[in-house]
Amino acid sequence: MHPTRRPKSSQSGQVAVETALVVPMMIFLVLGIIQLGMVHHARLMTEYGAYRAVRAGIVNHGDCGIMERAALVALTPTLGPLKGMSGRVDTIEQAVNLNEAYALVVLGPGAPPPFYPAGPLPLLRVQVVNPRASQLISLFNTYGSHMRGQEIDYDDIRDDQVIGANLLSVRLTYFYELRIPFANWQLHSFYMGREYLDELRGIQFENKRVGGQSATRYLERRGAERSEDHKSAASLAESGRYVMPLVATWSMRMQSNYLNNPRHGPGRCATDN
């Protein structure tokens, strides 16, 4: 006797069930890998952007506007297309066109700091963390007294305070927008609530609810409590835009004098935080 064979319809049903279980997971893995790769690229470019910003600052009197433009140039390969134009940057001409378009939108007259198009967060934020904002008045009055308090000699070595102040440290925060469907909101929720993931140990994200809301929504809400930037990121997420702040800091010794000028010195973007 021949062994009993399973009906073809039963086999087809089993294949369909297995496919329904495996395919969504595979799609998530593929999209997640692509999105993680793009985030890693953006993080590397943020490091480069911080370097370019501080490099521009040390030879241009710590000018915040020039540092912002230098950072934007470095970040151009990671930017998405603006409405009505291509986002390609595989030629110098295309990269220049995209950078100029973004500069007009986020660095144009009357728009400091550079705001994200139609959003509560800036596209990027350049902050001078050394010298600190609270130091500037004293520094200019003390070490710029021979120049009417308008400049500080970059090669002044009379004491440790001015030597330390002439080490320009710049922090660049790039509010990078995740753009891969499905992977964007998952990764964003993990980022926003990464400090609270232990509270959800063993929970199935696709069907489990926490406090009457989905697990991802719970993480977004908890993450929004961390800072004003995170609160704004959570607000953007509600409208379907997922922004992740990437931060890098770089330091270099000044090669030009700081200017005590609100438009062309470090004062506009200096901070004590």
Looking at the predicted structure, is the pLDDT value of residue 261 above 50? yes
Tokens at residue 125, please? 């934020």
In this structure, the number of other CB atoms found within 10 A of the CB of residue 115 comes to 16
pLDDT in tens, 158-170: 999 999 999 999 9
Specify the residue for token string 């001409």.
93
The model's pTM = 0.83
Separation of alpha carbons 88 and 111, rounded Å: 25
pLDDT in tens, 6-44: 555 556 666 666 676 677 778 888 888 999 999 999 999
Separation of alpha carbons 216 and 205, rounded Å: 7
Q: What pLDDT score was predicted for residue 9?
A: 56
Specify the residue for token string 């004003």.
228
